[in-house]
Amino acid sequence: MPQSQPLSRLRLIGRISVAFLLDLVQVGRLDREFLDGVLLLSIVQANIAPLTRDADLQLAYADYDAPPPDELRRRVSVSAIAQSLRLPYETARRHIARMAAAGACEVTPQGVYVPAATLHSPRHREAVIGTYQLLRDFYFRLRALGGLADLPSPDPARALDPASSAPVRAVVRISSDYVLRMVDLLAIHVGDLVRGLILLAVLRANTEGFPDETRGGEEGGPASFVPDEMRRPVRVAELSARLGVPEETVRRHAARLVQDRLCVRGPEGLVLPAHVLARPQFVQLMADNHANVTRMFTALARLGVVAEWERQRAAGGG
């Protein structure tokens, strides 16, 4: 996919997107393990796939107080979920069985689904509203940086009524598609979903103190990236706390990242170095991320969500 942004801006958008993606999963996992949160997200999206392809149903179930009923939720096999996330079947089966025992989902002869009642609780409402706010903040941050091309006007056949309450469920469905696309790219480029998420957490910890002006040059080699000595190393214990993943699991995957030469380990912790980020597959990952971010906000613009955010801001609503 051709680059649509200068490399320095693409690099900055990627850095901001990593924080956004990790925050989205963090908010949505509701104190579960990180992998459980991604599995549940994948199950929910598979359950409502028929709804997302129907404009009338998408609008009918846009508001938080209108969750799609269970009869509209398509059951999905554990095998299909494992394949979609590029996880070993036994890993997916074990995690899903544990979540089903805790009441987070239901396993039936027809497949797995997350019931509407589970998606309509005070804790879930808090997570959905948190996701909505993260996405709104992400939009205005990217817009200020010039990271979004001109977005389309609302589609008259699909746009929401601005006078209605916030269409948080529709927004979460669209942002969830973005998360799953990026999770798939991570699994492809890193070879393991959990390892890929840990790699992103390393990158975030290394760079989260950088101001937006620190973004490197326009050339493609390692010298145009932010120097390694500016990156803050991160220890396994900190990654474990950030991700809610057992420390031993993080240690095992971190060792593999070092072995595969995706990270370097120093006395102060792990660093994702410039020479790795400069590899063609990671530059392509940045370009793919920008394409997926644009796709997400294009869908939100057609639904009228972006126009409503702009109206609220112009009216002094933040």
pLDDT tens for residues 60-72?
A: 888 888 888 999 8
pLDDT of residue 156: 77
Confidence band, pLDDT 50/70/90 cuts, at residue 306: very high
Whether the CB-CB separation of 300 and 306 falls below 8 Å is answered with yes
pLDDT of residue 68: 87
pLDDT of 101 over the 90 cut: yes
Whether the CB-CB separation of 225 and 277 falls below 8 Å is answered with yes
pLDDT of residue 2: 44
Q: Cite the beta strand spans of 250-290 per DSSP E.
A: 264-266, 269-271
Secondary structure of the chain: what % helix, strand, coil (to 5)? Answer: 65, 5, 35
* 28 vs 217, higher pLDDT: 217
Average pLDDT of 4-11?
84
Residue ranges covered by each domain of the chain: 7-314
Residue-wise burial string across 154-178, b where 16 or more C-beta atoms lie within 10 A, e elsewhere:
beeeebbeeeeebbbbbbbbbbbbb
Residue 29's nearest CA partner among 43, 44, 40, 17 is 40
Average pLDDT of 114-122?
87
pLDDT of residue 165: 61
The helices-and-strands tally (H runs, E runs) of the chain is 14, 4
| Tokens (6 digits) for 42 | 């994948």
Average pLDDT of 224-231?
94
Whether the CB-CB separation of 198 and 245 falls below 8 Å is answered with yes
| pLDDT more than 90, % of the chain | 60
pLDDT of residue 258: 97
Over the stretch 266-296, which tens digit does the pLDDT of each residue have? 999 999 999 999 999 999 999 999 999 999 9
pLDDT of residue 44: 93
Over the stretch 171-202, which tens digit does the pLDDT of each residue have? 999 999 999 999 999 888 888 899 999 999 99
Inter-residue long-range contacts of 278-283, CB under 8 Å, 24+ positions, other chains counted = 278/220, 278/221, 278/222, 278/224, 278/225, 281/189, 282/189, 283/7, 283/220
| Tokens (6 digits) for 211 | 């101001």
